[in-house]
Amino acid sequence: MTIRFVESSKLPTPWGMFVMHGFSDDSLDKEHVVLTMGEVSDGEPVLARVHSECLTGDALFSMRCDCGPQLQAAMHKISIVGRGAIFYLRQEGRGIGLLNKIKAYHLQDCGADTVEANEQLGFGADMRDYSILKPMLDHLNIHALKLMTNNPRKVTALEDMGIKIAERIPHQTGRNPHNAKYLETKKGKLGHLFEDDSESK
């Protein structure tokens, strides 16, 4: 694995001015970005979201998942406190890629849940690799996170890499009639922690 820093630039957004840091994963020919706001290298735990790319949810406003609302909510929460980081990882479809994700969506249209669809295609339920985060965190001199997530496996994966999780902050938003089954599968099969049944991930 070779993750190298490329460049940083300003990124004005509806939630304020972020700095966008570009990283290249030369071994997999993928590009990742980190958005930061405020001073994140002062040693204090950083409010953060580790967000896997979801073209359908983030850019095309799909209601099949809660990814787009989660990304926007994370940017909003960071803007309120004026300090934080969003790690945007190019791991579409829990790591199976965009076209395989469309195949999985077709299987879901036929009645499979998200886990069953992945497995019918020959993939694991979640193929994401969070080890790519370590070089990015090291470059930004971030050593501890206040992580916005409902996924305990994500917390464990980061802690296993030696990243301190000072706090897990529930991050529930985006429930709608189209993603109710998706969210129940997250809870029942992937162990996501939902504070109640009104909102999710």
**127-162 burial, b if ≥16 CB within 10 A, otherwise e?**
ebebebbebbbeebebbbbbbbbbbeebbebbeeee
Residue 160 lies in a domain: yes
Asked if residue 195 is part of any domain, the answer here is no
Tokens of 31: 């590009």
Segment 104-110 shows an average pLDDT of 91
128 in active site? yes
Residue 187: which residues within 8 A CB-CB, separation 6 or more?
194, 200
| Residue 46: pLDDT band with limits 50, 70, 90 | very high
Residue 201 lies in a domain: no
Does residue 25 sit in the same domain as residue 74?
yes
Residue positions in the annotated binding site for GTP? 49-53, 70, 92-94, 114, 149, 154
- For residue 199, tell me if it sits in a domain: no
Q: Quick one: 159 and 122 in the same domain?
A: no
Looking at residues 77-93, what average pLDDT do you find? 95
Catalytic residue among 66, 126, 153, 175: 126
Residue 136: name the closest of 158, 119, 117 by CA. Answer: 158
pLDDT of the residue at 84: 98
Within 13 Å of residue 186, how many CA atoms lie on the same side as its CB? 25
Same domain, 15 and 41: yes
Residue 175 forms part of a structural domain: yes
Please report whether residue 117 resides in a domain.
yes
Radius of gyration of the chain (CA): 16
Same domain assignment for residues 103 and 146: no
| 49 and 142 within one domain | yes
Does residue 26 carry a catalytic annotation? no
Please count the structural domains in the chain.
2
Residue finishing a domain among 127, 145, 174: 127
User: How high is the pLDDT of residue 146?
Assistant: 96
Annotated binding site for Zn(2+): 54, 65, 67
Q: What is the pLDDT of residues 123-143, one digit of tens each?
A: 887 888 888 999 999 999 999
Mean per-residue pLDDT, 63-89: 94
- Indicate which residue of 128, 129, 160, 197 is catalytic: 128
Same domain, 117 and 168: no
What is the predicted pLDDT for the residue at 27? 86
Q: Give the pLDDT mean for 69-92.
A: 95
For the whole model, what pTM was predicted?
0.87
pLDDT category at 68 given cuts 50, 70, 90 is very high
Average pLDDT for 171-190:
62
Is the same domain home to 134 and 85?
Answer: yes
**In a domain? residue 14:** yes
SS3 114: helix
pLDDT tens-place string over residues 4-20: 999 999 999 999 999 99
> What pairing do the DSSP bridges indicate for beta strands 16-25 and 3-13?
antiparallel
**Is pLDDT of 201 > 60?**
no
In angstroms, the CA 96 to CA 153 distance is 18
What's the confidence (pLDDT) of residue 186? 54
Together in a domain, 103 and 177: no
Q: Are residues 117 and 163 in the same domain?
A: no
Structure tokens at 197: 């049944």
- Looking at the structure, tell me whether residues 112 and 182 fall in a common domain: no
Checking if the pLDDT of 174 tops 60, the result is no
- Residue 200, pLDDT score: 37
CATH of the domain at 16: 3.40.50.10990
- State the pLDDT confidence band at 102, using cuts at 50, 70 and 90: very high
Range of the domain at 108: 93-127
Q: How far apart are CA 114 and CA 189, in angstroms?
A: 10
Amino acid at site 131: S
Amino acid 185: pLDDT: 63
In a shared domain, residues 69 and 157: yes
- My answer on whether 82 and 177 are in the same domain is yes
